[in-house]
Amino acid sequence: MAAQPCIHCGADCGKNPVIWDEKPFCCHGCKTVYQILNEKEMGEYYQIQPMPGIRVTTESSDNKFAFLDNEELKEQLLDFTDGNTSKVKFFVPSIHCASCIWLLEHLDTLNPAISYSTVNFPRKEVYITFRNDQISLRQLAEMLSAIHYIPEITLDQLDKKGSGKTDRNLLIKIGIAAFSFLNIMMYSFPEYLPGSDLLEQEFKNMFGWLSFVLILPVVFYSASDYFLTAYKGLKHKIISIDIPITLGIMALFFQSSYVVFSGHGIGYMDSLAGLVFFLLIGKWYQGKTYEALSFERDYKSYFPVAITRLIAGVEEIIPIKELREGDLILVRNQELVPADARLAKGKGNIDYAFVTGESVPVPKQKDDFIYAGGRQVGSSIELQVVKEVEQSYLTQLWNQKETATVNHSLDNHINKISQYFTIIVLIIAFAAFGFWLTKSLETAVYVFTSVLIIACPCALALTIPFTFGNTMRVFGRKGFYIKKSEVIEQLHKTTTIVFDKTGTLTLSRQMSVEFQGEPLTDEELLKVRSMVRHSSHPLSAALYSQLKSQEVIEPTNYEEIPGMGITGLFRKDRVNVGSKQFVTGSGEADDSKESRVYVSLAGEQRGYFSIKNVYREGLEKVISDLGNSYDLHLLSGDNDAENDRLQQIFGPEAILRFNQSPSDKKTYVEKLKKSGKNVLMIGDGLNDAGALASSDTGISIADDVFSFSPACDAILEADKFAQLNSFIRFTGTSFRVVRASFVISFLYNIVGLSFAVMAVLSPLVAAILMPVSSVSVVVFATLSTRWLASKQLK
Amino acid sequence: MSAIILLIVIGIIVAGGFLIAFVWAVRSGQYDDDYSPSVRMLFENKEAKAAEDTKKSEPATKDNPDSKTLTKN
C-alpha cells in the first residue's frame, strides 16, 4: 500500500496505518479524536479544511490537569462565576485553521454542559462559558485535551489578565481625530475658494468656533501621548522626535485659536487635525504586533501551575508558590521539576530540553541534585525541595531583568536626527522672528509660528513607522517575528554574533546514527529495530527512524528499565539495548563525549551505535556568509567533542567556547558588550535566556513559535534558519529606505520653510503641503520596502 | 442662508452618530479579532441547516450574542 496521509492530521501513516471506518490514521491518538467527533456527527471538522487535526506525540499523564480542582487556582483562572455558570479563557497554541475555530465554537455539541465558546484567532484563545454544576474546570481542560487542543495554563497567565486595552484606546483616538479632521476640512473649504471674501462674517465666526470646539478633543485627547513622551524625554534630557511634533501642534493650536478669537476665520485648524490623524495612523501601523507570540517569557511561562506535595504519604495538590524548602514533591512522567531539588525516591531520568536544548535525558540516582526546569521521563519520582521556586538557580538567572536595555528605544537614529532638526528649526524661527521684528511685531510672531507649524516633522515621524512596520510584516510572513520595530535598528547595528550550539545550530529532534563494532546482520538490525520501537526514549526514537526495514517482529518479555535500557527475547535470544553500564555490565560509567547506545545479542557484546546531533540545513552557508561581515562566537554548554568540525565551519577567526554554564554565557555576552561590541545572541533554550536578555538583540530559534522560546527580541522559525543572513542584511536595506524618505521630507520642509520665513504661509499652502508630504513619504516608504523585500528576500 | 446652518447641524449629527458607533464597536471588542468572524460567518449557514434536522444547536445559538445576529441574517 502506498504511503497515505492521515485523515486527521495529514502526517504520513507509514507502512502500517491504523484503519478505522475505512480511513487511514497515523496513530491511535488521531483515530480516537476522529471517533469522538464522528460519534457526535461533527464530521464537518474534516470538510472545512482537509486534515486539520493536531498530532499529539507526547502522552501526558492522567493527572496533568488535576491542579484545576484546587479552589484557589480555579478562582484565579476563571474570569467570572456565579455558582452555576462560569467563564474561562484558555490559551490553546495549536489553534491554526478554520476547522479549529469551527470545532472549538461547537464544543456544546460535544458536551451539553458547555453553553457556548468563542475563539479569538490572532490571540489563539478560546473563551468558554459552561455550567460548572455539570462539568468541572478540570474536566473541561481534559475534554479539550482529548480532542488534542491542549490548553496551556501557566503561572504567567494567572498573574496578569486582560491586556490589549491600550490598542483600543489608540483606535478611539484615531476615530476622534478623523471625525474632527473631516468636519473641520468641510468648514475650511469655503476659505480656499475664490470669492471667499464674500462669505458673510457670521459664517466665518460660526465656522471658526465650530472648528475650535472640534479641535479640543484632538489636541487634548488624541495627541496627548505626544505631549507626555516629549515631557518624559525632556526629563531625561533627550530631545526626541516628539518635541518638534509637540512644538508644531502647540504653534498650530495657539495661532489658529488666536485667529478664531479675533474673528478672522479658522486658521490652520484643518492642518492640525490632519497632522494628528496621520501621526496616529503611523503609530497604529507600527504598533501591530504578534499577539499570540510572547517575547516576554520568563520561567513562569514554563513552569507548572501546581505540584503534588506529599505529606506523610498523602498526596496534595498545591500552587507552586506555596512550595517551601524541605517539602517532598511527586513528579510524574512528563512533568517539570519546578524547583532545585534532590532525588529522594525513584529512578530519575531528566530531560533538560527546555534548559539546554539537549533532548537526551540524563539518568539521576538517589540524592542526585536536579535543577529546576528538567522534565522527568519515565516513572514517577519523589523529590526533596532544596530551594524555593524563586530562589532556584535558573529562575534567579532569568529574573535578573536587564536595566541597560531600557534606554534602547530612546537612543536611536531618529532621535539623533530630531535633535539637530529641532535645533535648526528653532534657529530659523528665531532668526526670522528677529528679522521681521524690525518691520512689525505682529508679522514677526506670525512668521515665528509659521516656521514651527510647517517644520513640524510629520513626514519625518511617519518614515520610521511605515518603513519598519512594513519590514516587520514582510519578516513575519517569511517566518521571522520581531517584537517591536526598534529591534530592526538594533539588528542593523550588530557587529558581533554569538551562537548557542545545541538546539540552535543542531536539530533538537533528529540525530545521525553510526554503528561502531562488529557489523550487525540485517536480521540482527531488525531485532534491534523491533526492540527500540517500543521505547519512547529519544535515542530509541533516533535509532528506530534510522534503521530502515520493512517489517517488525515482536519481542517477548519486553521490559524497559528507565535510565538504563531495554531488554527482550526473540525466541531464546536475549537482546539488550541501552547504556554501557546496562549492556556490558561494567561498573564504570560511560565517559565518552558522545551519546552511545550499546547492543548485546544473545549474550554477545556487539558494540555501540554512536548518535550525533545533526546540524541544521544550510548551516555552513549561513555561517560563512555571516563570517564575512561579523565577528562570530560560539558558546556551547556541551563538551568539545565537535570542536574541530565547528572550527572548520566557523573559520579560524571565530571564538568557540565549550562547557559554558548559563551564567558563563551571560557574562561572556556582557563582556563583549562592554568592549563596545553590538551583540546579537542567537539561542533557543532557557540556558540562553540570560545571554539573550543581556545582549543588544536576542533571537531565539523555535520549532513551534507559539510555545517554548525564552524571552527575546525576535523569534525565528527553525526551518527558516538558512535565511538568517538575508534577514539581517535586509535591515540595512530598510535603513537606506529611511534615509531616502528623510531626504524627501527635508525637501518638502525647505519649500515650506521658504514660504514661512517670507511671511506668506497661508492656511491653504499648509493644508496642501502637509498632507501631501506625509502621504508621499508613506507611499514611498511602503512601496519601496515591499518592492525591495520581494527582490532581496526569497 | 439658513439652509447652510441646517445642513451643518445635520452633518454634525450624522457624523457624530458614526463616531459614537465606531467608539462603541471598538469598546465592545469588535476590532480585537479580525479573522475569526470572517470564518465564523461561513459556519453558521451550514449549522442552521443541521439545526433543522437535529435541533441540537438550538440552546447554544440563543446564548451566543455573535451567532444570534449572524443566524438572523
Q: For residue A200, what are the β-bridge partners?
A: none
Per DSSP, the residues of A549-617 read: -S---PPEEEEEETTTEEEEEETTEEEEEE-HHHHH--SS----SSEEEEEEETTEEEEEEEEEEEEPT
Residues A535 and A581 in one domain: yes
Higher pLDDT, residue A710 or A694: A694
The SS3 of residue A35 is: helix
Residue A540: per-residue pLDDT? 77
Residues A121 and A155 in one domain: yes
pLDDT at B64 over 50: no
Give the residue-averaged pLDDT of A99-120. 85
Q: Which of A96, A116, A130 to mutate to test the interface with B (most CBs of B within 10 A)?
A: A116
The least confident of A166-170, A493-497, B6-10 is A166-170
Task: Give the Cα separation of A23 and A13 in Å (integer).
Answer: 11
Higher pLDDT, residue B72 or A278: A278
Provide the pLDDT confidence category of residue A430 given band limits of 50, 70 and 90: very high
pLDDT at B63 over 50: no
**pLDDT one-digit tens code per residue, A15-46:** 667 777 778 887 777 887 888 888 777 777 88
Domain contains A192 = yes
Question: Rounded to whole angstroms, what are the CA distances from A205 to A210, A482, B3?
Answer: 9, 51, 17
Residues A667 and A582 in one domain: no
Domain end: A256, A287, A318, which one? A287
Task: Return the number of other C-beta atoms located less than 10 Å from residue A497's C-beta.
Answer: 26
Q: Which domain holds residue A73?
A: 66-159
Question: Rounded to whole angstroms, what are the CA distances from A265 to A203, A440, A759?
Answer: 9, 22, 18
Is residue A521 packed enough to be buried (19+ CB in 10 Å), middle (13-18) or exposed (0-12)? exposed
Residues in chain A within 8 Å Cβ distance of B56: 109
User: Which cell is A22 given?
Assistant: 475505512
Q: Is A171 on the interface with B (CB under 8 A)?
A: yes
Provide the pLDDT confidence category of residue B10 given band limits of 50, 70 and 90: very high
pLDDT at A268 over 80: yes
Of A116, A172, A186, the CB nearest to B26: A172
Per DSSP, the residues of A46-58 read: HHHSSS------S
Residue of A nearest to B57 (CA): A109
**pLDDT one-digit tens code per residue, A462-480:** 888 888 888 888 888 888 8
Residue of A nearest to B53 (CA): A41
A569: CATH = 3.40.1110.10
Residues in chain A within 8 Å Cβ distance of B4: 203
- Asked whether the beta carbons of residue B32 and residue A44 sit closer than 8 angstroms, the reply is no
pLDDT at A410 over 80: no
Task: Return the number of other C-beta atoms located less than 10 Å from residue A519's C-beta.
Answer: 10
Domain residue ranges of chain B, discontinuous segments joined by +: 1-32, 33-73
Residues A45 and A101 in one domain: no
Domain contains A79 = yes
Report the greatest alpha carbon distance in chain A: 114
Give the residue-averaged pLDDT of A399-428. 67
CA distance A170 to chain B (A): 10
- Asked whether the beta carbons of residue A41 and residue B66 sit closer than 8 angstroms, the reply is no
Residues A182 and A212 in one domain: yes
Residues A647 and A620 in one domain: yes
Residues A71 and A13 in one domain: no
Higher pLDDT, residue A174 or A47: A174
Residue A730: per-residue pLDDT? 92
Domain contains A430 = no
Residues in chain A within 8 Å Cβ distance of B29: 168
Residue type, A380: S
User: Which cell is A599 given?
Assistant: 547492543
Task: Give the Cα separation of A458 and A381 in Å (integer).
Answer: 63
Domain contains A255 = yes
- Asked whether the beta carbons of residue B33 and residue A120 sit closer than 8 angstroms, the reply is yes
Q: What is the ipTM of this complex?
A: 0.72
Residues A271 and A237 in one domain: yes
Residues A6 and A147 in one domain: no
Residues in chain A within 8 Å Cβ distance of B16: 179
Residues A571 and A599 in one domain: yes
Task: Give the Cα separation of A535 and A377 in Å (integer).
Answer: 11
- State how far Cα A225 lies from the chain centre: 26
Higher pLDDT, residue A225 or A687: A225
What's the first-to-final CA gap in chain A, in angstroms? 37
pLDDT at A561 over 80: no
**pLDDT one-digit tens code per residue, A569-607:** 887 788 888 877 788 777 666 566 677 888 888 878 888
Is residue A341 packed enough to be buried (19+ CB in 10 Å), middle (13-18) or exposed (0-12)? buried
The alpha carbon torsion through A420, A426, A429, A430 (nearest 10 deg) reads: -130
pLDDT exceeding 90 applies to what percent of chain A?
Answer: 10
Domain contains A519 = yes
Contact present, A735 and A238 (Cβ < 8 Å): no
The least confident of A218-222, A295-299, A561-565, B57-61 is B57-61
Q: Is A210 on the interface with B (CB under 8 A)?
A: yes
Task: Give the Cα separation of A28 and A50 in Å (integer).
Answer: 19
Residues A491 and A625 in one domain: yes
**Model pTM score:** 0.76
Provide the pLDDT confidence category of residue B38 given band limits of 50, 70 and 90: confident
Residues A519 and A502 in one domain: no
Average pLDDT along chain A: 81
**pLDDT one-digit tens code per residue, A497-544:** 999 887 788 876 667 778 888 787 877 888 888 887 777 676 777 777
Residue B55: per-residue pLDDT? 43
Domain end: A597, A614, A631, which one? A614
Taking any CB pair shorter than 8 Å as contact, residues of chain B touching chain A are 1, 4-5, 8, 11-12, 15-16, 18-19, 22-23, 26-27, 29, 31-36, 39-40, 42-43, 46-47, 54, 56-57, 59-60, 63-64, 66-67
pLDDT at A444 over 80: yes
Residue B58: per-residue pLDDT? 41
User: Which cell is A606 given?
Assistant: 556487539
Per DSSP, the residues of A342-396 read: EEEES-EEEE-HHHHS--SPEEE-TT-EE-TT-EE-SS-EEEEE-S-GGGSHHHH
Domain end: A599, A614, A629, which one? A614
Characterize the bridge pairing of strands A595-601 and A604-615. Answer: antiparallel
pLDDT at B68 over 60: no
A492: CATH = 3.40.50.1000
pLDDT at B65 over 50: no
- Asked whether the beta carbons of residue B15 and residue A183 sit closer than 8 angstroms, the reply is yes
Residue A193: per-residue pLDDT? 82
**Phi, psi torsion values for A566, nearest 5 degrees:** -125, 155
Domain count, chain A: 5
Residue A165: per-residue pLDDT? 58
The least confident of A121-125, A218-222, B69-73 is B69-73
